[in-house]
Structure 1
Amino acid sequence: PKKKKKHTKKVRMSKAERLKKQQEEEGKKVMSSEAARLQAEIEEQERLERERKLEEIQKLEEKAEQNRDFELTELRHLLEENYSAIIRWKVDAAEKAEWERYMLCDGVPDAKDQRAVNTFVTLWKDYSDTDIEEELQLCNSAVKLIEALDELMKEAKDPELVPKYHDALIEVQEILHAKHLFIAEKLLKGASDNIDPDTRNMQTVSKHKNVTLCLWANLFKNPSFTGFDFQEAGLSFKLPEELAVSDIAVRILHTHYDHLSILSRLRHLPQKPIVEEIPPPAQQPEETRVGQNKSELLITNQDLKEKQIDKESVIPAQTEELSGHICSLVLSDGPSKLNSLSPPVPEFEEKEDDTEVVNLVQYTTLGGVFYYDLLQLPPQPIRRKGYTILQMVDGLKVFPYPIERSNKKECSDDPTEKPNKGACSPVGVSIVLPEWVIFMEMPLVARWDAAEGRWRKDGIINVSYEEAEGKISFEMESFQIFALMRNTFANFPFRGWELRPLGQNSAIYTVKGALIQISITIENSQCMLQVAQGRGLSHLVGKWMSGPALQKAMAKAGIDIFVNENTHKYVSICKKNPRIEQFAYDQMALYASACAFSWSKWNATCGEDNLVLQGCEHLKAGPVPEDSWNIYFVGSQRSRQLEITENSEAFSTDHAAGSEFHSTLIHALQDSMSPDGIALVRKSHYCFVDTVQSLLSATRPLVFS
């Protein structure tokens, strides 16, 4: 049978329901229409706001362009005035230092006077009738002469002078090495007269200004002897068992300087220096001009040199060096071809296939050099019936180790076979790190390869480092020259920085390094280091000295915050146009008496040809309040205060409300400065400005933070 179809009955809407639905549809239409109207109003408001901002920016640009000549001229005048004054001051200081050096009469010849150097070398070489103290004093004079010759080689502009300085340096080094052996020979020849009653051997420590000499003579020949600790010098050695009954002496000479790396640098320089591309001098105008080309601020040396006093001709080398202090600030729209503020210098030529060679660009010796020698004990005097019998020998002889010929099974009996370095026990040494240096990381131990003239990492085994005690121990295959090294760039990149005023011609510059934070207090031309952490820097912390002297002292102590031509190759940087960067440092130095400056995270996002930093007026004592900081944008054409803060979610180049566009940073700062603050910076001393600018240029915080 067929199924019956089910009929569904349609539900009819009531009149009220139809009315309600109709009202809902009409409401949706009204809401949609209202939303469209509101959206149109919003878009119109946004369009008007954009037009208003564009109009405002156009007016600000027009005003900035009108004021550009005045602002650039004012800045040029300030920089030129300070530059001229610092030139005069430094020339006078150089003349005074040269006169004081002449009147010192300390026995150290003038390194530039070849005749005086030759006389010193000849007399010292032939003069041997001296006591140990006098000989050590002459060694100290030789060290000063070597350092002076090394500086002259680095600064020499005449290529013909470099070989002369080089030959003199090598000759003085060779004599210095011979004199150190001569001193040890004198002491060892009288070893039997200075026997220690406890050990029945001879051991002595002789400390001088630049060297520490430790000597041990094996007189008793105790078979169970294993080593000795020179506690006074913080040095100890471990002697292999097979040497305990030999006629030997151990010399550990710790020189507080490193002359071997100089030899490595001189020996392994490439034939052709690797230089960075620099625009040819012909492209740079010879006169200072502002306003003729409004995209440039040119401050050249030619115009400044014409205004210098006649004293510049007295010491032209110093004047020429200082001329780079403010040289050729060219700000243009195009990217700069310069990659570094530092002058190009030859680079080291390292063997890429030899990973055991220490890269002296990346690593630097710290704490001096240790000469660890095993010597044949010279014949001792024999006294009988009032007579002294002494076998005459000339010089000290090295005791071969590993032993070339021995009756011991582990060493070869074949005299033609090279010694098996693994067959004899290694020699050990322990060092308490010098108190006048700071190692931020575990030191790298390297040995000197005299044949190659290089520092090497191989041949050093069983290294242990006790950081709390500041002690490192290790073993070597033989008695060798060694040194402790640090990573030159371990404290880079910086985690932040701040330059804060402390009053008229006074400021504090703080750098938060990767491993250590340091602060430098600046007063006029003097600087004082402050370190929150670090052992054994009492000779450096809290002492006033000039900026260049502080840089050398910090590098010698292992505190490196100063960049060189190779730093960017080993650490991550925030790449910037070096001309704009230098331009910013010059202006920051001018206003450092009243304005604080600090690191900004937005500097990494604003592009290579722009800079972003925090700044504000700060006339009160103490730290800068967080809400006082403003964000400043520095470009090739314009500088301005930005609307964003350090805590904003995104970067924006929108200018702060009420601020104006300027051609220089200092005029952008003046918009929010008080009359007292402006008056304060106008009275800044040229020595203070130069010192601040030098520190900023040497550390380059806008690139290496």
Structure 2
Amino acid sequence: EENYSAIIRWKVDAAEKAEWERYMLCDGVPDAKDQRAVNTFVTLWKDYSDTDIEEELQLCNSAVKLIEALDELMKEAKDPELVPKYHDALIEVQEILHAKHLFIAEKLLKGASDNIDPDTRNMQTVSKHKNVTLCLWANLFKNPSFTGFDFQEAGLSFKLPEELAVSDIAVRILHTHYDHLSILSRLRHLPQKPIVEEIPPPVQQPEETRVGQNKSDGDCTSELPFTPRSPTSEPPVKSTSRPSSEESVIPAQTEELSGHICSLVLSDGPSKEKKKNLILAQLNSLSPPVPEFEEKEDDTEVVNLVQYTTLGGVFYYDLLQLPPQPIRRKGYTILQVFPYPIERSNKKECSDDPTEKPNKGACSPVGVSIVLPEWVVFMEMPLVARWDAGRWRKDGIINVSYEEAEGKISFEMESFQIFALMRNTFANFPFRGWELRPLGQNSAIYTVKGALIQISITIENSQCMLQVAQGRGLSHLVGKWMSGPALQKAMAKAGIDIFVNENTHKYVSICKKNPRIEQFAYDQMALYASACAFSWSKWNATCGEDNLVLQGCEHLKAGPVPEDSWNIYFVGSQRSRQLEITENSEAFSTDHAAGSEFHSTLIHVLQDSMSPDGIALVRKSHYCFVDTVQSLLSATRPLVFS
């Protein structure tokens, strides 16, 4: 209880500090919650086009941050009236962002003749920015034998159909290091998440008035995009059934903490509202997450965005009409009027004129090769998907070849289209094993042996550091200290996802356990992580749903835990004990070890065999360290997904 009180206060202070630092940053990105500031930013940026390319790209970077902030607000919004506002603002900013990217390409192509490469006699350029890589090629020479070009510094190359070799065209490959298209796909069918509303105390009033107000309230809520759910009503979304034991966790935990939380909220005056909101968020995190709305898609070629996630950003592969080039005569530059935005040809047919629509099937496929980005890691062959009609689709991609050693993938498409590389979100599940080992006071290392890759996370107070044997794609993460939530986001963005969500159990095999007992075990392991080591046990899969089995021992020395030091511990709903069996025993038995005693909790069983030095380390554990370890264990759930 003391640790919980301290960590709540620490998180409140950290949130207030982060909010103040964001306010003082003054980076040109408006506050996503301030609709007036967002509208001002959008209006000024839309009309502001007389800038150089670097400045325009900088504004695009600000828009990217704004889109990410709006997306987070949509996910966290509890007021249903705010969701459409965030949604509309997000769509508008995205549309302007795409228009600005076209404007940048148009500006470069208008001066293509001034930047002719003497070797190819065409124009090709690569412009790299923080979140964007722009590759442009302009067909000025119109060599009929031209087949394609390799942008070596960007790791991108394209293959041009011979029918287009003598056309007035340009090719744009815009690689955005982020994915904003998948958001649009999800927004087509927003999840009907229940909204928790505070119910005011009843007011004595005439019966007729109460009936009239109830009818009015019903009419009002029926027009909202989400349907609020009362605590006793059924959720409006279709979800898989969960065991009753899992559903009973929250009332018990909430009741246990309610009195303590009230004292926290009322203790500090000016920050009462912020503290209340944070504490409510902490309580909400205890509840089983509501599964997102999953639309049943009849078309098997549409990518399931629950099972697959884009990795490495999005590639905009476009065929553009080459704008008229300036003509210089006697010191004058003659420019031809050119409409904006540029016409893009996304047709499956080809001709000398990219805006003309010839007979179907007359065009050869267009090819592209990609060297996988250095800041992501693909543990399996990527799935190539193309964007079509608001969906990611798997069809229309042919002749895919993957060179794993070189980290290169090549394929062909029927036309110039937007595409992305995708990974299986749950490829690293289930785990093959795990271990939590102490490194000293308020320090430990958490190792997860995933299905495809083994990672280790060093924990020191509230900071975490990733360690992994496979260095490719992780140089920007390995050896860097950051907070637990920041590390989780960075790992997922890099393609290493060992953190479970509300859909993980639908796609991988699990060792089903009572969630209340499981969560209580993580709490106890975190409390003793400074002095005790814990590890996976094969007997956990045979002990039943309401019991847990894991290995554990006191470990105060540096280095790995000796094999003969491990003990087997049985954690039940009522009692815990040390078992007589070992990990190498032939059969499972619940007989307790000789000389050991039964206790109500795991930590009391551990204390029976711990030294005074080990107990002293545990009692001096900092609440930030305990919370960080507990958060990592709860986020990965090794007792269920191993």
SS in 2 for 1:339: helix
Q: Which has the larger radius of gyration?
A: 1
Please say if residues 349 and 361 of structure 2, whose CA atoms lie closer than 8 Å, have aligned partners that are also in contact: no
Report how far residue 575 of structure 1 moved. Answer: 0.4
Report how far residue 161 of structure 1 moved. Answer: 1.3
- Residue number in structure 1 paired with 2:223: 296
Shift in alpha-carbon separation, 1:501–1:486, aligned structure 2, 3 A: same
Please say if residues 614 and 632 of structure 1, whose CA atoms lie closer than 8 Å, have aligned partners that are also in contact: yes
Shift in alpha-carbon separation, 1:319–1:175, aligned structure 2, 3 A: farther
* Candidates 444, 452, 465, aligned match of 1:515: 452
Q: Deviation string for 1:136-195 (max 9, x for gaps)?
A: 000001101111111111111121111111111111111111111111111000100111
SS in 2 for 1:374: strand
Shift in alpha-carbon separation, 1:281–1:144, aligned structure 2, 3 A: farther
SS in 2 for 1:293: helix
Shift in alpha-carbon separation, 1:318–1:485, aligned structure 2, 3 A: farther
- Residue number in structure 1 paired with 2:269: 334
Report how far residue 534 of structure 1 moved. Answer: 4.0
Report how far residue 536 of structure 1 moved. Answer: 2.7
CA distance in 2, matches of 1:624, 1:194: 64
Report how far residue 220 of structure 1 moved. Answer: 0.3
Shift in alpha-carbon separation, 1:101–1:519, aligned structure 2, 3 A: same
Q: Deviation string for 1:620-665 (max 9, x for gaps)?
A: 0000000110111111111111111101111111111111111111
Please say if residues 78 and 195 of structure 2, whose CA atoms lie closer than 8 Å, have aligned partners that are also in contact: no
Q: Deviation string for 1:253-295 (max 9, x for gaps)?
A: 0000000001111113355779999999999999999999999
CA distance in 2, matches of 1:634, 1:207: 55
Report how far residue 351 of structure 1 moved. Answer: 3.7
SS in 2 for 1:573: coil
Report how far residue 316 of structure 1 moved. Answer: 21
Report how far residue 308 of structure 1 moved. Answer: 33
SS in 2 for 1:613: strand
Shift in alpha-carbon separation, 1:408–1:548, aligned structure 2, 3 A: closer
Please say if residues 384 and 421 of structure 2, whose CA atoms lie closer than 8 Å, have aligned partners that are also in contact: yes
Report how far residue 594 of structure 1 moved. Answer: 0.3
CA distance in 2, matches of 1:644, 1:248: 74
Please say if residues 200 and 219 of structure 1, whose CA atoms lie closer than 8 Å, have aligned partners that are also in contact: yes
CA distance in 1, matches of 2:186, 2:440: 44
- Larger mean Cα displacement after TM superposition, 267-276 or 101-110: 267-276
SS in 2 for 1:225: coil
Q: Deviation string for 1:319-351 (max 9, x for gaps)?
A: 999999999999999999999977423524344
CA distance in 2, matches of 1:501, 1:236: 49
- Residue number in structure 2 paired with 1:421: 360
Shift in alpha-carbon separation, 1:627–1:379, aligned structure 2, 3 A: same
Please say if residues 579 and 593 of structure 2, whose CA atoms lie closer than 8 Å, have aligned partners that are also in contact: yes
Please say if residues 91 and 319 of structure 1, whose CA atoms lie closer than 8 Å, have aligned partners that are also in contact: no
SS in 2 for 1:251: strand
- Residue number in structure 2 paired with 1:54: none
CA distance in 1, matches of 2:351, 2:223: 76
CA distance in 2, matches of 1:172, 1:490: 33
Q: Which runs of 5+ in 2 are unaligned?
A: 216-221, 225-239, 272-281
SS in 1 for 2:573: coil
SS in 2 for 1:306: coil
Report how far residue 234 of structure 1 moved. Answer: 0.2
- Residue number in structure 2 paired with 1:160: 81
Q: Deviation string for 1:449-471 (max 9, x for gaps)?
A: 1xxx1100000000000000000
CA distance in 1, matches of 2:426, 2:335: 54
CA distance in 2, matches of 1:334, 1:91: 13
- Residue number in structure 1 paired with 2:234: none
CA distance in 2, matches of 1:279, 1:608: 40
- Larger mean Cα displacement after TM superposition, 319-328 or 599-608: 319-328
Shift in alpha-carbon separation, 1:315–1:563, aligned structure 2, 3 A: closer
- Residue number in structure 1 paired with 2:249: 314
- Residue number in structure 1 paired with 2:580: 643
Q: Deviation string for 1:280-320 (max 9, x for gaps)?
A: 999999999999999999xxxxxxx9999999999999999
- Larger mean Cα displacement after TM superposition, 199-208 or 412-421: 412-421
Shift in alpha-carbon separation, 1:93–1:283, aligned structure 2, 3 A: farther
Please say if residues 496 and 513 of structure 1, whose CA atoms lie closer than 8 Å, have aligned partners that are also in contact: yes
Please say if residues 397 and 414 of structure 2, whose CA atoms lie closer than 8 Å, have aligned partners that are also in contact: yes
Report how far residue 353 of structure 1 moved. Answer: 2.2
TM-score normalised by length of structure 1: 0.76
Please say if residues 319 and 345 of structure 2, whose CA atoms lie closer than 8 Å, have aligned partners that are also in contact: no
CA distance in 1, matches of 2:259, 2:358: 56
Q: Deviation string for 1:655-685 (max 9, x for gaps)?
A: 1111111111111111111111111101100
- Larger mean Cα displacement after TM superposition, 227-236 or 414-423: 414-423
TM-score normalised by length of structure 2: 0.84
Shift in alpha-carbon separation, 1:530–1:276, aligned structure 2, 3 A: farther
Report how far residue 570 of structure 1 moved. Answer: 0.4
Report how far residue 111 of structure 1 moved. Answer: 0.9
Aligned length: 610
Shift in alpha-carbon separation, 1:288–1:624, aligned structure 2, 3 A: farther
CA distance in 2, matches of 1:523, 1:153: 33
Shift in alpha-carbon separation, 1:413–1:386, aligned structure 2, 3 A: closer
CA RMSD of aligned residues (A): 9.3
- Larger mean Cα displacement after TM superposition, 518-527 or 324-333: 324-333
Aligned: 1:366 with 2:311: yes
Report how far residue 533 of structure 1 moved. Answer: 1.4
Please say if residues 274 and 345 of structure 1, whose CA atoms lie closer than 8 Å, have aligned partners that are also in contact: no
Q: Deviation string for 1:179-213 (max 9, x for gaps)?
A: 11111111000100111111100000000000000
Report how far residue 98 of structure 1 moved. Answer: 1.0
Report how far residue 104 of structure 1 moved. Answer: 0.8
Please say if residues 249 and 287 of structure 2, whose CA atoms lie closer than 8 Å, have aligned partners that are also in contact: no
- Larger mean Cα displacement after TM superposition, 679-688 or 348-357: 348-357
- Residue number in structure 2 paired with 1:220: 141
Shift in alpha-carbon separation, 1:326–1:426, aligned structure 2, 3 A: farther
SS in 2 for 1:212: strand
CA distance in 1, matches of 2:498, 2:439: 22
Shift in alpha-carbon separation, 1:489–1:357, aligned structure 2, 3 A: same
Runs of 4+ with >4 A deviation: 270-297, 305-342, 398-421
SS in 1 for 2:214: coil
Shift in alpha-carbon separation, 1:115–1:603, aligned structure 2, 3 A: same
Q: Deviation string for 1:362-404 (max 9, x for gaps)?
A: 000000000000000001000011111101xxxxxx9999999
Shift in alpha-carbon separation, 1:210–1:287, aligned structure 2, 3 A: farther
SS in 2 for 1:565: coil
- Residue number in structure 1 paired with 2:227: none
Please say if residues 383 and 389 of structure 1, whose CA atoms lie closer than 8 Å, have aligned partners that are also in contact: yes
Shift in alpha-carbon separation, 1:165–1:550, aligned structure 2, 3 A: same
CA distance in 1, matches of 2:548, 2:265: 16
Shift in alpha-carbon separation, 1:325–1:470, aligned structure 2, 3 A: farther
Please say if residues 341 and 578 of structure 1, whose CA atoms lie closer than 8 Å, have aligned partners that are also in contact: no
Shift in alpha-carbon separation, 1:261–1:103, aligned structure 2, 3 A: same
Shift in alpha-carbon separation, 1:387–1:291, aligned structure 2, 3 A: closer
Please say if residues 192 and 293 of structure 2, whose CA atoms lie closer than 8 Å, have aligned partners that are also in contact: no
CA distance in 1, matches of 2:123, 2:259: 57
Please say if residues 600 and 612 of structure 1, whose CA atoms lie closer than 8 Å, have aligned partners that are also in contact: yes
Q: Deviation string for 1:475-524 (max 9, x for gaps)?
A: 00000000000000000000000000000000000000000000000000
Report how far residue 422 of structure 1 moved. Answer: 3.4
CA distance in 2, matches of 1:409, 1:288: 64
Aligned: 1:206 with 2:141: no
Report how far residue 241 of structure 1 moved. Answer: 0.2
Q: Which runs of 5+ in 1 are unaligned?
A: 1-79, 298-304, 392-397
SS in 2 for 1:290: helix
- Residue number in structure 2 paired with 1:606: 543
Q: Deviation string for 1:545-568 (max 9, x for gaps)?
A: 000000000000000100000000
Q: Deviation string for 1:50-90 (max 9, x for gaps)?
A: xxxxxxxxxxxxxxxxxxxxxxxxxxxxxx11111011111
SS in 1 for 2:569: strand
- Larger mean Cα displacement after TM superposition, 482-491 or 287-296: 287-296
Shift in alpha-carbon separation, 1:321–1:260, aligned structure 2, 3 A: farther
